[in-house]
Amino acid sequence: MVKILVVDDDQGLRDFLKIMLSREGYQVSTAAEGKEALRLCQKQKYDLVITDLKMPKVGGLELLRAIKEVSPETMVIVITAFASGETALVAMKEGAYDYLEKNFTVDELKATVRDALSKKGVKADDVEFIKKVENAFSFGRMIGSSKGMLQVYQLINKVADTPANVLILGESGTGKELVARAVHENSSRRDEPFVVINCGGIPETLLESELFGYMKGSFSGAYTDKAGLFEVARKGTIFLDEIGELSPFLQVKLLRVVQEKTIRRIGGVEDFKVDVRILSATNRNLEEKVEKEEFREDLFYRLNVIPIRVPPLRERRDDIPLLIDYFIKKYSRELGKEVKKISVYALELLMDYPFPGNVRELENIIERSVALEATNLILPENLIIHQEGITGGDLMAEVEIPEDGINLSEEVNKYETMLIRKALEKARGSKTKAAKYLNENFDSLRYKIKKLGIK
């Protein structure tokens, strides 16, 4: 029998909901406040929790978060007399299935409960999938077991075998193409072509012919008919990287493909039907480009049916040791080296580094370090982090500011800490020598070491 828990400090509403839901055939328990509800959730699993938002001591949002910790498959409906778009958005972001005002009708609540329970099978599948991957370190060709990456894996698992267009969002170097490959390889199209094209690295005229093909004699040098990549990817998947760089002319042509599933070669008069899954990616803010009329709004919504955001490396630092271990093994094998692991101090330097170039930058650092290392251990002096944009103007050229901003003081402290540690390493612990390497006054350096907690 379906188990429902009703949580509300209003006894009248609590009793009413218990009677009404029991008549619908559900097994209903009640709790007068959040702590009691959490104790009940820790003792047994509920299919659905209906909770008031405003309660003394433990509020509805706090209870929602706690329920998702102990029983992520439990559906939650939040009810409140203090409705606002902002609180609704917070509740939904925290994992609530739906949000109702206390002036709801009985029919509205019954329908919402039915909808939530009908979706629970899907949610349970999601939870089982997470359990399978949360103790693993990879999915497809991606490495990581952080919360952010588990969410990416979960979303890939859900959307892979649907026909929906997917827009992959993320900074340069985060692994957007790996996400696209994982979507393709977990779909029913996995045995068909996976075609990749970088929309930002090819001139407009050449990109048009690459995408759509051309007929013999349509322009100088067109000596034979040529199929475009949309034809080559027939029954498979085409991945359009850097989609935000498409010219307005090609945006129009791509919109036609997305809407009508047909293409026409350059110089041709015949339309070709194309059965192809479209995945696209960008490191740009497409919504901002739409507002500036630099990207077609209709095309944006056609491509952005399902967005997948790939977190930058600074948001998934727990994955750095896993990635380092993977890259050490990869390049030791490729380069014929015997490097086994990274030194503790070298790892600390990398853990403190902001990685403006994300996973791609970390891979380049480890590849060079393995190539240069003469022992079986990567040492700090072989990291060559400064070549990755850690000094001078290069840092400003490489660093990207995320939409939600950064904490400038924290980032500056991290950078300063890394440089001081590197100087101390080079000086074999001598603060006097380290001060000289940094062109810093000894007393000033000693103060910074204490302030930053450098040991």
Q: Which 3 state secondary structure label does DSSP give 390?
A: coil
Per residue in 40-60, pLDDT tens? 988 888 989 999 888 877 888
User: In the chain, which residues fall in CATH 1.10.8.60?
Assistant: 314-452
Single pTM value for the model: 0.59
305: tokens are 């049916």
Most confident of 95-99, 190-194, 426-430: 190-194
> How high is the pLDDT of residue 385?
74
> Is pLDDT at 86 greater than 70 in this prediction?
no
Per residue in 141-191, pLDDT tens? 888 888 889 889 989 988 998 889 999 999 999 999 999 999 999 999 998
- Identify the CATH number of the domain defined by range 144-309: 3.40.50.300
* DSSP conformation letters of 168-184: EE--TTS-HHHHHHHHH
Q: Given pLDDT bands bounded at 50, 70 and 90, which one contains residue 125? A: low
Count of helix runs (H) and strand runs (E) in the chain: 19, 18
Report the chain's C-alpha Rg in angstroms: 28
> How high is the pLDDT of residue 196?
92
User: In the chain, which residues fall in CATH 3.40.50.300?
Assistant: 144-309
Q: Given pLDDT bands bounded at 50, 70 and 90, which one contains residue 294? A: very high
What fold is seen in the domain 314-452?
Helicase, Ruva Protein; domain 3 (1.10.8)
Q: What is the mean pLDDT of residues 313-321?
A: 93
What DSSP element (H or E) covers 92?
helix 85-93
Say how far apart CA 170 and CA 176 lie, in whole Å: 7
Alpha helices in 283-407 (DSSP H): 286-291, 297-303, 320-335, 344-352, 358-372, 392-398
Say how far apart CA 230 and CA 214 lie, in whole Å: 12
Decide if 386 contacts 398 (C-beta within 8 A): no
Q: Given pLDDT bands bounded at 50, 70 and 90, which one contains residue 394? A: very low
* DSSP conformation letters of 142-167: EE--SHHHHHHHHHHHHHTTS---EE
> Is pLDDT at 404 greater than 80 in this prediction?
no
Distance of alpha carbon 291 from its chain centroid, rounded? 24
Cα angle value 24/27/30 (rounded, 5°): 110
> Is pLDDT at 335 greater than 70 in this prediction?
yes
* C-alpha closest to that of 209 among 170, 144, 246, 264: 264
Cβ-proximal residues to 263 (8 Å cutoff; 6+ apart), any chain: 211, 212, 213, 228, 230, 231, 256, 257, 271, 272, 274
Mean pLDDT over all residues of the chain?
A: 84
> Is pLDDT at 254 greater than 50 in this prediction?
yes
Residue 118 has, within 13 A of its CA and on its CB side, a CA count of: 6
Cα angle value 182/186/192 (rounded, 5°): 95
Q: What is the mean pLDDT of residues 130-145?
A: 68
Q: Facing residues of 306 across strands?
A: 166
The residue with greater pLDDT, 371 or 115, is: 371
For the ranges 30-34, 264-268, 356-360, 428-432, the lowest mean pLDDT is seen at 428-432
CATH class as words, domain 3-129: alpha beta
Decide if 276 contacts 317 (C-beta within 8 A): no
Indicate if the alpha-carbon torsion angle 179, 282, 410, 369 is positive or negative: positive
